[in-house]
Every structure is written in C-alpha cells, then in structure tokens.
Structure 1
Amino acid sequence: MAARRIIAALCAMSVAFASLTQPVFAQNKGSGPSLIRDAEIESLIRLYTKPIFQAAGLNPESVHVYLINDPRINAFVAGGQRIFINTGLLSQAKTPNEVIGVLAHETGHIAGGHLARMQNEIASKSNIAIIGMLVGAAAVAGGAVAGNGEVAQAGGGIMMGSQGLTQRLVLSYARALEASADQAAIKFLTATGQSGKGMLNLFQKLSQQSMISLRDISPYVMTHPMPVDRIHNLEIAVKGSKYYDTPDKPEIMLRHQLMQAKLVGFMQPTQTVFQHYPISDNSLSARYARAIAMFRSGDTRNAVMVIDTLIRDLPSDPYFLELKGQALLEGGQPAQAVAPLRQTIKMLPNSGLIRIMLAQALLGTENKANAEAALTELKLARKTEDDTPSVYQFMAMAYGQMGDIPRADLATAEAAFYRGDKKLAEEKAKVAMATFKRGSPDWLRANDILNFVNRSDE
C-alpha cells in the first residue's frame, strides 16, 4: 500500500546496515550503509544522552545509540529503544548542542511510544484504503460488465482517492507526533539545564534547505516533516526557556571538535584531510586529523610523532593514547602498541572496545604468555561486548596460540554465530562438542550454538 511505504519513510522503521567485527574505529568497506564502532565517539554520545534519558524517565542502560556511516544528516528511532544517528549529523553539527537537541527529540519519540502508536495508526487508516479499494474495484468491475465507462472511471477515482485520503491522514498524524517530540525535547533539555537553541538552529536550516531544493533534501526532513508552523511553535518554546543562551561547556566543545576531526581523518582521503586541516593549523583537532591520515597512509613514524605532541599537550585525554596504540598496531608494531593501550585501559577500565584492541596487540607478538594476557583482556571485554564477533575471533587465536584447540574451535563457532555464518558456527560447534565432556560448561555453550542455529532455520 502507498500509505505503508510513506510511513516506512516517515518513521524509519528499519535501516539496512552491516555489523562490523573490528574493535576500533571501523567501517564497512561494502557499498551499503554500515555501523561504526569507536570508543571515543560512543563515550561522547553517552555523555550527551545520559541526562536526557534520565529526564525522560528512561534507563540509560536500556536505550542504545548506533552510529551509521552516512554523510547525510539523519537520526531516527527504530526497533524499540534504539536511536540511529548518521555520521553526517555529527560532522555537520556546528555545536554539541545541535546534536544533543536532535537526540532529545528522538528520545521524545521513545518516551511517547510513538513507533507503536504510528503502527496502530497505520493499521486503522489502512482499513479506509482497503474499503475504498474494494468499493472502487467493485465499481470498475460493475461498470465493465454493464458497458458503462463512466461508472468504471468513477470506480478508479474511488480507489485513488481512498489511498490519497489515507496518506493525508497518516501524514497529519506524523506531524502531530513530531510536534509532540519537539515539546518533549524542550522539556528534557530544560530539566537538564540545556538550551534548545542548537535544535532550533539545525531544524531551521534543514527546513529552509527543503524549501529551496528537494533534490538535495536531507533524509532527516523526509522522516521528520517540518512545516512552517511547527518550526514557528518550536522557536517560541525554545526562546521562552531560561536556558536559551546557555552555551556549550568549553571541554564539551573540544571533544565535539576532536570527534569531527576523527571522522574526517578516518573517512576522507588524505589530501582532503590536509585541505580541511592544513599544516598551518596547530590546534589539537587539526593535529588529530592529520595524525590519523598519516598512519592510514602508511606513515606511522610521523603519525606517532604528532600523536606524542597531542599526549604532551593534553595528557588527560585517553583517546590520544588509544590512537598511538592503534597506529603502532596497524603499522606492524604490535609489541610497541601494548604499552600505550595498557595506559589507556588504566584511564578507561570499562572500555570493552579498547580491551579488544589491546588483546589484538598482545596476540600480534605471538608470545604464549601474551596470549594468556590477551585472553584475560577478552574475557573482561566480553562483559560489555558479549555479542561482538571480534571478541570470540581473538579468543580463538589466543586459545590456538596456547595449544587449546577444542576451545579455539568453540570460540570460532561463537564468532561465526555472531557474524551470521550459520554453516561455520554449526560445523565448529559440532567439532567442539565432540571433544568436551557431555554436560560441561563448554559442551553446553557449543550445544546452545547448535540449538540457536537450528532454531533460526525453522
């Protein structure tokens, strides 16, 4: 039905993406959109969202935010308490407050149960279209039998009209939900002592762009209708807040700039990075972007030299140490990468992603003692990254280096399972089960994998 297609766009009920296995800043090399994992960016997003979620009465641990590799501005709620945001929103937002405003708006959709309400609305309005289609079809058939072309033509008009009415009704409902999410966002921002200016500025810009050209319209506007009256009402409410002129804190602004530099450094060609952040720019964010571009292009030596200046100038930032470890690891120096990554873990003991990278560096030394240390790191990482395939992939390598082949097979089965490779998961789980004592914890884990694989095939 046409109405269903429109609402699929409005609500962004689903998105095509591929899950990644790399534990550090990573992106899918395929043609479709993908999820990106990065400890620094995820930490910043949690900093933005935690007070907003709490103000909305939501458990911050129950709401998950995912980053999509897409240069366009967009954010949406899908699959319950899940917020998806494009890298384009992060890289184009002029201030942290703009990002926070969008996240507050999306939180309004979650707190208001808008996805479920929209699904119910679609179901109820679809009945109108169905009835109209049946009546129209009957008129077309009757007119054809009677040889009355006017009746048949009128029947076609009824069919088209019923679909148009359904679309208008659902679009009207969607606009009401957007206005409701706006008001909820203002409430959450006020409760946390933050301004809605960033949200207003971004929405005004997107609204103006949509009126100028539909060709380059942001997908955020397509999924979040922005009529003039909505923007006007939002402006009145935002400017009425006592926090309207509250600026972003300098330390948050710096983290925002570093995040944007990281996105440019990792996602743009080296030449583009140096054009955006020329050598004459000695700011932390400029050096950060250039260092990333250097090691990505194979110049590990100069990249590390620049990173060392960042660590010297801002020793409290753990992500400079993380980057040094990553540059050395990807530059073929895993043994040298261990020390900065261990320093990072001391500063960020709960970061599963960084523990995975440390384990990768330890395994790269091909030392049995380091393999045991890597396994310890991976078991700790599993507490927060239990469904990340690379945890089990590196566990398999660790067990292999330690000579524990049965557990290496089991870990390989788990990695394959989380990657969606059911054939390999089943094969390795069977091999592992044959070597473990029946009923033992490892045997039960292998058996669980087999059961899940077989159940998913039903």
Structure 2
Amino acid sequence: MRLLISFAIMLSILSLPARAAGLIRDPDIEHSLTQLARPVLQAAGLSPNQVKILLINDRVPNAFVVDNRAIFIHTGMITRLKSAEALQAVIAHEAAHIANGHVARRMVQAGTRRSVTGLGIALAAAAAASGANSSAAGALAIGVSSSAQRSFLRHSRAEESSADQSAVRYLAASGISTRGAIEVHAIFKDQDALSEARQDPYARSHPFTRDRVRAMQAYVASYGGDRPYSSDSAYWFERAKGKLWAFQQAPKSTLRRAKDMPSADITLMMQAVAQHRRSQTANAAATMQRLLKARPKDAQYHELLGQILLEGRQFNAAVNAYGRAAKLNPNDALILGGYGRALLASGRTKQAEQTLETARARDFRDPSVLRDLGSAYAKNGKPAMASLAVAERYALIGRLEDAELHAKRAASRLSTGSGPWQRAQDVLSAAQRHKK
C-alpha cells in the first residue's frame, strides 16, 4: 500500500520556512550537504533520497525538523561551525528526532497527522523558531496561541538526551569522528546563562544544560571520539561554505577568501562567481572552463557555468552547459529546472515544457520552476495548465488568495477528475482552509 500525500499537504510541509526566511535552492550546495548527510541518515535508518537537507537564508544559527521529509539548517549554522564533523553532528541530532519518533509523536498529540491546517500550525511554530516575524508565523497558525507556536519545536530533556545519544551512535557507526558533537555543544553551552530573548533559536529549542554537556562528553568518550577528521568531508563542507560566501559576500571579499581554500577547484569556483557578480561574463566563463578541465564530469560545476551564461544572456551556450549538467546528473531537479529555464530563454518552448515538468514532478519546492513552467505552457497554447502552474507557485510562496483565483481558472478548463484538475482542487482546498 502506498500513502499518497496531496500537493496541498506537501505545500504546508515545506513552504512556510521558505516564506519566512527564504530557502536557498542551489544544486551544488544541496549536493555537498547530501554528501555529508548521507552516511548519517543511513545509520539512522533514514533514506537520503527521502530526507532532504534544505538551507534557510538566515544568519542566526539554527537547525530543526518539522516532519519526516526534511532537515532545515540556517546558513548561520554552517558559517559558524568550524568542521564538517560538527555539521554532521547537527544533522545526526535532527535525524535522531525523526528516527526516534519525536516529531511524529508531537504531531499526533496535536491532532495534526493528516490535517493541512495542523501542518500549517506546525510550520508556523517552525517559522517562529527560525526567527521569522510573528505576523508571518501567526498568519498560518490560525487559532493557535503564539506560546504554542514557540513551544512546538522545544524538545523535552528526555528527547534531547535520546537524540544526543542516538546522534553519537550514528556518527560512530558511519566512521565519523564524534568530536564534532563536542564542538557544537561548546558553541552553545553558555546560552543558558542568557535571557531567553537573547538566546540563539537553536539554544531555545535545544537547551544546553551542564548535565547535558557532561553526558555528551561521556557519550563521545564511550564511542571513541579520537578518530581523525575526514579530508573528504572537509572538502564538501568547504565547497558548500565557499559557494555561500561567493554569492552572499562582496566580490572583493570573495576573491580574497578564495586564495585560502583547501582545494584548487573551490578557489576557481569562487573566483568565477565573483567575476560573474561583477558582470564579467567572459572572464567568469573562462575561469569555469579552466575548472571543468580539471573536473569534466562534475555536473554541479557545469550547472554553474550554465547559470553564468544564462544570466549573461548567452542563451544557446547556456543550453549547452545545462544540457551537459543534466546528462551527467539527470535526476537533479534543480539542474533540470535551470536547463528548462535556458531552453525557454532560447525559444525552445516544447523541450522546455517537458524538462520543467520533469523537474516539477521530482521536486515541487522550487517556485522558479513553476514560474517558468507557466510561461512554457502559455507559449505552447495550454492556458489551463499555465493557470495551474501559476496557482501552485502562488500557493508555494504563501499567496493563497492569488493561488485560489488561478486554481479556479485552471479547474474550469481542465477535464474533471484528471490529475491536473485534482492538483487544482488541492490548491483550492488549501486556500479555503486558510480563509477559515
């Protein structure tokens, strides 16, 4: 028996953190995080293909889970940690909350297992924990007090102890040094001395007591915390941080920092991004070609070249770069989304529609794919499907009134009972629940 979850429920599961603080969807960063998370998730009995590691653009260090499908990590957590093993410890801890049933039990207690409204309530709490403004959180947590929102992600001492011990066990089973867990505790251990208003959100939802720190030190010692750090993990950690830095900091700062990268390809990647952000498309493309000579089968680097060329309005060259990336990694929805965008820009609307539809089917969480898909449908003479794509995009970014308008338009033109018609009904149901 397969449990099918409607689009409306899936919207509620992952859209609110994106709306509150902004999800960063980047195939290179997500691939790097997946490489770090894979052994930990497998040790926890979770599938790396089912549990996504999603990045929230927020400088405040935090990480949390709201259901069994994703672990959310703030950019501030990644930039604050000093080692891959520390980040893997954070992922292991959040994975333990999933594997040990803490999230599922909390949602059952709240009566939210199959309720769209209930999932919205859960995510409003997550938004509050992530540092979102209270009005954004409250708008989706209809009928729930702000204190309930703030407390939804606050774990009990028993849950924290269980997750700590499980996390260390997952790290040890994966051959990862458990010392990373001590690094995380060292960063947050003094937060309890601060007033709650001044504490980092991660410390509020994962309180660090002295007893807990001592217990963690004992866990690490018992599982052999003296293993060396992994150079392979360090590479993926620095690659993710380097990509983040290159797109978020000034190009001058990026070029200065790029010189200190431990790998030549990361240095070149950062230099190319800095040149791109200075509108030096030719230089950036040349730098990427140097990089690709060293790593010709790296799909994520081909995707970056495609982005540089597309944003530099070299559409045909961008199609070639994205096409190479898609050939190397045909299952990456983000790469397919970029490929479809380049095809659309170059006027190949039928091929763009097919590519974008494949990207949407594999991962609905990218509003830009739905935007481009709506354009492709419109240009291909499919107004009902265009309205549906627009409706789903508006729903995904929280504009439910606009979503309802376009969903009604789509439903009136689609064949009753068809798959697309049912998707329109899901959006309408989510909009109606929001009104109530």
TM-score, structure 2 length as denominator? 0.76
Aligned-pair CA distance for 1:268: 1.1
Bigger mean CA offset, 398-407 vs 178-187: 398-407
- From 392, 395, 398, the equivalent of 1:420 is 398
Match of 2:351 in 1: 373
Q: How far apart, in 2, do the equivalents of 1:204 and 1:214 lie? A: 18
Q: What SS does the corresponding residue of 1:76 show, helix, strand or coil?
A: strand
Q: How far apart, in 2, do the equivalents of 1:280 and 1:69 lie? A: 22
Aligned length: 381
Opposite residue 33 of structure 2, the aligned amino acid is I
2:232 is aligned with 1:251: yes
Match of 1:305 in 2: 286
Tell whether the 8 Å contact from 2:83 to 2:180 is kept in structure 1 after alignment.
Answer: yes
Q: How far apart, in 1, do the equivalents of 2:159 and 2:210 lie? A: 15
Q: How far apart, in 2, do the equivalents of 1:66 and 1:33 lie? A: 12
Q: How far apart, in 1, do the equivalents of 2:15 and 2:229 lie? A: 36
Match of 1:266 in 2: 247
2:83 is aligned with 1:83: no
Tell whether the 8 Å contact from 1:193 to 1:243 is kept in structure 2 after alignment.
Answer: no
Query: Residues 98 and 18 from structure 1, CA distance in 2 versus in 1: closer, same or farther, beyond 3 angstroms?
Result: closer
Aligned-pair CA distance for 1:358: 0.7
Aligned-pair CA distance for 1:306: 1.3
- From 394, 397, 400, the equivalent of 2:378 is 400
Aligned-pair CA distance for 1:210: 7.1
Query: Residues 398 and 116 from structure 1, CA distance in 2 versus in 1: closer, same or farther, beyond 3 angstroms?
Result: closer
Opposite residue 388 of structure 1, the aligned amino acid is D
Matches within 5 A, 1:8-27: 19=18
Backbone CA RMSD of aligned residues: 3.5
Tell whether the 8 Å contact from 1:16 to 1:33 is kept in structure 2 after alignment.
Answer: no
Could you list the runs of 5+ residues in structure 2 that have no partner in the other structure?
A: 1-12, 111-153
Tell whether the 8 Å contact from 1:375 to 1:398 is kept in structure 2 after alignment.
Answer: yes
- From 84, 93, 100, the equivalent of 1:96 is 84
Match of 1:295 in 2: 276
Tell whether the 8 Å contact from 2:36 to 2:237 is kept in structure 1 after alignment.
Answer: no
Opposite residue 222 of structure 1, the aligned amino acid is R
Aligned-pair CA distance for 1:325: 0.3
- From 346, 355, 359, the equivalent of 2:340 is 359
Q: How far apart, in 2, do the equivalents of 1:380 and 1:374 lie? A: 10
Q: How far apart, in 2, do the equivalents of 1:17 and 1:107 lie? A: 20
Query: Residues 47 and 216 from structure 1, CA distance in 2 versus in 1: closer, same or farther, beyond 3 angstroms?
Result: same
Q: What SS does the corresponding residue of 1:19 show, helix, strand or coil?
A: helix
Tell whether the 8 Å contact from 1:210 to 1:218 is kept in structure 2 after alignment.
Answer: no
Query: Residues 423 and 110 from structure 1, CA distance in 2 versus in 1: closer, same or farther, beyond 3 angstroms?
Result: closer
- From 181, 184, 187, the equivalent of 2:169 is 187
Q: How far apart, in 2, do the equivalents of 1:279 and 1:225 lie? A: 35
Tell whether the 8 Å contact from 2:16 to 2:398 is kept in structure 1 after alignment.
Answer: no
Tell whether the 8 Å contact from 1:396 to 1:412 is kept in structure 2 after alignment.
Answer: yes
2:317 is aligned with 1:336: yes
2:13 is aligned with 1:48: no
Query: Residues 207 and 406 from structure 1, CA distance in 2 versus in 1: closer, same or farther, beyond 3 angstroms?
Result: closer
Query: Residues 16 and 428 from structure 1, CA distance in 2 versus in 1: closer, same or farther, beyond 3 angstroms?
Result: closer
Match of 2:219 in 1: 237
Q: How far apart, in 1, do the equivalents of 2:33 and 2:325 lie? A: 19
Tell whether the 8 Å contact from 2:179 to 2:226 is kept in structure 1 after alignment.
Answer: yes
Aligned-pair CA distance for 1:372: 0.6
2:337 is aligned with 1:349: no
Aligned-pair CA distance for 1:54: 3.0
Tell whether the 8 Å contact from 1:385 to 1:391 is kept in structure 2 after alignment.
Answer: no
Match of 1:67 in 2: 55
Opposite residue 34 of structure 1, the aligned amino acid is G
Aligned-pair CA distance for 1:355: 0.6
Q: Post-superposition, which runs of at least 4 consecutive aligned residues in structure 1 deviate over 6 A?
A: 116-122, 209-216, 279-282
Deviations 1:392-413 (A, max 9, x none): 3212211222233343333333
Bigger mean CA offset, 51-60 vs 33-42: 51-60
Tell whether the 8 Å contact from 1:194 to 1:244 is kept in structure 2 after alignment.
Answer: no
TM-score, structure 1 length as denominator? 0.73
Q: How far apart, in 2, do the equivalents of 1:15 and 1:360 lie? A: 23
Q: What SS does the corresponding residue of 1:66 show, helix, strand or coil?
A: strand
